[in-house]
Structure 1
Amino acid sequence: MKLSKGLLADLRLQPELQVPDAALLALPEKVLQFGTGVLLRGLPDFFIDKANKQGLFNGRVVVIKSTSKGDTGGFEKQDNLYTQCIRGIDGGRKVSEDIINASISRVLTATTQWEEVLSCATSKDMQLVISNTTEVGIAYVEESIHNNPPASYPGKLLAFLYRRYQHFNGSEESGMVIVPAELIVDNGTLLKATILQLAAYNQLPTDFITWLEQHNYFCNSLVDSIIPGAANIDTGYEDELLIMTEVYRLWAIETDSPRVKEVLSFAGADAGVVLAPDINVFRELKLRLLNGAHTLSCGLAHLAGIDTVKAAMANDSMAAYIEGVMLHEIVTAITDKHIRHDAAVRFAVAVLDRFRNPYIEHKWVSICANYTSKLKARVVPALLQYQQHTDHVPALMALGFAAHLLFMKSPAADDPFAAYYADLWTQHPAETVAEKSLSDSNVWGTNLNTAVPGLTKTVTNMLLALQREGVNAYLERVAAEIIIS
């Protein structure tokens, strides 16, 4: 049995499965979504579907497939329905939920159905544009928006907005709320600037530019959820669009506009949607506590022979390190007038639950890719903040840097700096490798030897201990000290 509208009546007999009412399939189309990927289906579309089921949003999504790669046959066969399986840990409790998502009304392919896409601009129900155009991206391409279709996502969006402006004669109420979900800092600001630049290139009317700037709202946003996508889960029926998502979910949208909040009424359905005038706090928490902890731990775990994040959380020594570096050092580093200590701790505890998720296979060797640049972007700012707050060297962060040096001794490391470190290890003894690396401002953006007094000595001693005692033995000793303290 393949998932479809006709199967819903039978599926309602399964009490553990959340099945949509037939009335939800007739809701008006309010959202234009650029992208068919699992991130959009697992996060924004989940929130919209949940809100529809609570009677809070009452609108469906028209999905635009931006490229010619692949096909939309799977959506057509299943009447655009798909199963979302939520698996993970929440407050130490295992969570398992299966939901049939009915948020998508239809899927259009831009390369073959462009006029149908543009016709969506003439609908009075349309209010919102969301996107995650990973293959195309928010990039400026000098092109005519009258192409069929324009090649770039900004080109497509500008063509849609111009058609809407023309159809509604530039009325104030016809303006759209536009929320990109691309993993780019200030993505809404960037998208708006790109759209305006392209509008100027196309010599579009001044009145249209005024309408674009005054009555359309481009919102920065941050998405945070691990969505592996397809999963080997038996639902009792066939669903080629099935996805698995973790329990934790966040879509932080930057706005203080009453109009935007009115349009984004689905925010009331789930605590994972946050509307705030400044989302930098959420970005900082994610970057330092989730991404930073991943980066500090990846080399150490790999050297210890631990393959995955969940396996690390099942290893007493590695789990103690990860928990210690997050709660004792990163939280201390980032707590300031913008981030309260209790908020940072709550986020860290949620991250630890996510790391323990038994359903997700996140390999450390994959996290080790571009290891050096990740340390620079995700960890060095926290390292400097810790030193400023405490005037001490963060010992567990230092161990992360020592593990990085030992990991990078292999020229096979998937890192643009692999040759640099191979030469460093060839030309210098282990006793001076840390000093040479940490003093290199071309690598770290600053001389860490002088910026964090004592760091070089600490990293050097730990690097030598890792080599002398072995990674697992030294890690056990460090973990014991963390537990005692």
Structure 2
Amino acid sequence: MTKRLSRSTQPGLPVYPERMIQFGEGNFMRAFVDWQLQQMNNQGLFNGSAVLVQPIGQGLGALMAEQDNLYTVLLNGIMQQQTVNSREIIASVSRVISPYEDYAAYLALAEDDGLEFITSNTTEAGIAYHAGELNDAPPKSFPAKLTALLYRRFELGKKGFVIIPCELIDRNGEKLREIVQQYAAEWQLGDAFDKWLVEENTFCCSLVDRIVPGYPRDKAAQLEAELGYLDNLMVTAEPFLFWVIEGPAWLSEKLPLAEAGLNVVVTDDMTPYRERKVHLLNGPHTAMVPLAMMAGLKTVEDVMNDETFLRFVQDLMNDELIPMLDLPADELTSYSAAVLERFKNPFVRHELASISLNSISKFKSRLLPVLLRYQQERGKLPELMTLAFAALLLSYRGDRVARQDGAEVLEVFDLAWSHPGSFVQTILKNDSLWGQDLTLVPGLADAIAAKLQELESTDSRAVLQQVVS
């Protein structure tokens, strides 16, 4: 019987002091941030580990503990025209804390002077305000939990943190700081805390880029035989990685990612990098998912190997996304070509179902701004984005595609879909979903209604074939 990955089966692995608090223990952060910590540690540049905090009640803490917080990252793909097929045990995670099970242990993190950094990925929906009190154990939202931890740190008279959220929302660091300050004001934590919050903590905006399909279910048995151990937490990722951090220049020395040879940029303005990535890589992902899943496709590679869906992705990028971005056309064209190559990566099984998680907030940040700009500048709606929007709304009815979103979002859709005749008006008017009343966008409600009718009367592939080049 194959033994489970642990420190007893892998003697000699180093143990690093805790230097980072990381909210989120999912596949992406373990194959992105923690993998990068490992690369710095391998070169003697960081000498630190991350203590992970479960942002929600159900998490991977118990499974991580069974493996002594070790797991394997598998990099598979083409990088600079070279095939990459690597396996590495990551030892840069110290432990996982669930504030839902041991809130005292969570707050005790404030006592450790060695902890300098805070990172997070709680999905696009995670950096949000939810009403609560300081004495909630724990507070509901991630920003509220962070506020409680920072306040405890302040009370102890200790230095602040460098805080680098990785959620894919615009100006994530600023948004997180604003919500923390909102809690501080509502909880009446005082002017001294507010001053410490601003002066002693560095909130950085950031942009992350690495495709992480996650656990390789289809190859798990084969990999177990190859690796010689059982790893229920192994995670696959593409070799490509890019991290843009908008922060002070000294951060490059304090967190020597670039010195370790990693594709990391510390800059005073991340806007051009963000627009290019969010709209040209994440946007097509979000657009393809509901249409492709309705057609029975399972992975991004399936989409790229399907002539109709490939044309959809290409036309979406070339005709609707690139013209709306304020960057040199040749740079955007080159980047989009690289994105298509990454989408076609035959070594990575990127499940459409995993991309579909929290699709409403993803559409809001990745595609809606471009759709609105297109309509404003051209006086008409972008046909492919509008079709993708309609398919997304239909997928949230729940009878076509398994929905994966927060309970509050699903309740909104269930209520709206219970009255089909008024569904389009009801859902587009809901500014809690979109940040505005979308029924005011000229022609959008009628176009969505028409696309919904088409998708209902025939399959998504047939609808696509009528609109792609």
TM-score normalised by the chain length of structure 1: 0.71
1:46 and 2:35 are equivalent in the alignment: yes
1:387–1:56 distance in 2 versus 1, CA, 3 Å: same
Q: Whole-Å Cα distance in 2 between the matches of residues 365 and 236 of structure 1?
A: 28
Q: Which residue of 1 aligns with 2:153?
A: 164
- Give the 3-state SS of the residue equivalent to 1:36 in structure 2: coil
Which entry has the higher C-alpha Rg, 1 or 2? 1
Letter in 1 for 2:235: I
1:348 and 2:352 are equivalent in the alignment: no
Q: Which residue of 2 aligns with 1:190?
A: 175
Q: What displacement does 1:64 show?
A: 2.3
Mapping of 1:351-370 within 5 angstroms?
A: 351-358=339-346, 359-363=348-352
Letter in 1 for 2:107: L
- Percentage identity across aligned positions? 32
Aligned 8 A contact 2:249 2:266 in 1: no
Query: Match for 1:83 among 44, 69, 72?
Result: 72
Q: What displacement does 1:84 show?
A: 1.1
1:212–1:402 distance in 2 versus 1, CA, 3 Å: closer
Mapping of 1:458-469 within 5 angstroms?
A: none
Q: Whole-Å Cα distance in 1 between the matches of residues 313 and 22 of structure 2?
A: 37
Aligned 8 A contact 1:110 1:149 in 2: yes
Q: Whole-Å Cα distance in 1 between the matches of residues 98 and 350 of structure 2?
A: 32
Q: Which residue of 1 aligns with 2:322?
A: 331
Q: What displacement does 1:104 show?
A: 0.8
Q: Which residue of 2 aligns with 1:429?
A: none
What number of residue pairs does the alignment pair up? Answer: 430
Letter in 1 for 2:441: T
Q: What displacement does 1:4 show?
A: 1.9
1:139 and 2:132 are equivalent in the alignment: no
Q: What displacement does 1:444 show?
A: 6.6
Q: Which residue of 1 aligns with 2:10?
A: 8
Could you give the per-residue CA deviations for residues 266-292 of structure 1, whole angstroms, max 9, x where no partner exists? 343354433222223233223321243
Q: Whole-Å Cα distance in 2 between the matches of residues 204 and 376 of structure 1?
A: 33
Identify which range, 278-287 or 89-98, moves more after superposition: 89-98
Q: Structure 2: which 5+ runs fail to align?
A: 402-409, 423-435
Q: Which residue of 2 aligns with 1:254?
A: 246
Mapping of 1:430-449 within 5 angstroms?
A: 443=438, 445-447=440-442
Aligned 8 A contact 2:384 2:467 in 1: no
Q: Which residue of 2 aligns with 1:215?
A: 200
Query: Match for 1:322 among 313, 334, 339?
Result: 313
Aligned 8 A contact 1:301 1:364 in 2: no
Q: Which residue of 1 aligns with 2:189?
A: 204
Mapping of 1:369-380 within 5 angstroms?
A: 378-379=366-367
1:58–1:367 distance in 2 versus 1, CA, 3 Å: closer
1:142–1:73 distance in 2 versus 1, CA, 3 Å: closer
Q: What displacement does 1:353 show?
A: 2.1
Aligned 8 A contact 1:380 1:444 in 2: no
Q: Whole-Å Cα distance in 2 between the matches of residues 152 and 300 of structure 1?
A: 32
Mapping of 1:86-485 within 5 angstroms?
A: 86-90=75-79, 94-133=83-122, 138-145=128-135, 148-167=137-156, 169=157, 174-232=159-217, 233=220, 234=223, 235-255=227-247, 257-294=248-285, 297=288, 308-327=299-318, 330-334=321-325, 336=326, 339-358=327-346, 359-363=348-352, 378-379=366-367, 382=370, 398=383, 401=386, 443=438, 445-447=440-442, 475=465
- Give the 3-state SS of the residue equivalent to 1:96 in structure 2: strand
Q: Whole-Å Cα distance in 2 between the matches of residues 86 and 121 of structure 1?
A: 35
Q: Whole-Å Cα distance in 2 between the matches of residues 369 and 104 of structure 1?
A: 26
Letter in 1 for 2:161: M
- Give the 3-state SS of the residue equivalent to 2:244 in structure 1: strand
Q: What displacement does 1:2 show?
A: 1.9
Q: What is the aligned-residue RMSD (CA, Å)?
A: 4.5
Q: Whole-Å Cα distance in 2 between the matches of residues 294 and 304 of structure 1?
A: 15
Q: What displacement does 1:318 show?
A: 3.8
Q: Whole-Å Cα distance in 2 between the matches of residues 369 and 161 of structure 1?
A: 28
Aligned 8 A contact 2:249 2:267 in 1: no
- Give the 3-state SS of the residue equivalent to 1:262 in structure 2: helix
Q: Which residue of 2 aligns with 1:452?
A: none
Letter in 1 for 2:245: I
- Give the 3-state SS of the residue equivalent to 1:106 in structure 2: strand
Letter in 2 for 1:258: A
Q: Whole-Å Cα distance in 2 between the matches of residues 212 and 474 of structure 1?
A: 51
- Give the 3-state SS of the residue equivalent to 2:340 in structure 1: helix
Aligned 8 A contact 1:304 1:472 in 2: no
Q: What displacement does 1:91 show?
A: 5.2
Aligned 8 A contact 1:227 1:244 in 2: yes
Q: What displacement does 1:209 show?
A: 2.5
Q: What displacement does 1:250 show?
A: 3.3
Could you give the per-residue CA deviations for residues 323-375 of structure 1, whole angstroms, max 9, x where no partner exists? 344246532332x3xx222332232123212321333243489859979x977
Letter in 2 for 1:219: C
Could you give the per-residue CA deviations for residues 99-124 of structure 1, whole angstroms, max 9, x where no partner exists? 11111122233244444433432333
Q: Whole-Å Cα distance in 1 between the matches of residues 272 and 62 of structure 2?
A: 41
Q: What displacement does 1:207 show?
A: 2.8
- Give the 3-state SS of the residue equivalent to 2:334 in structure 1: helix
Q: Structure 1: which 5+ runs fail to align?
A: 10-20, 425-440, 450-455
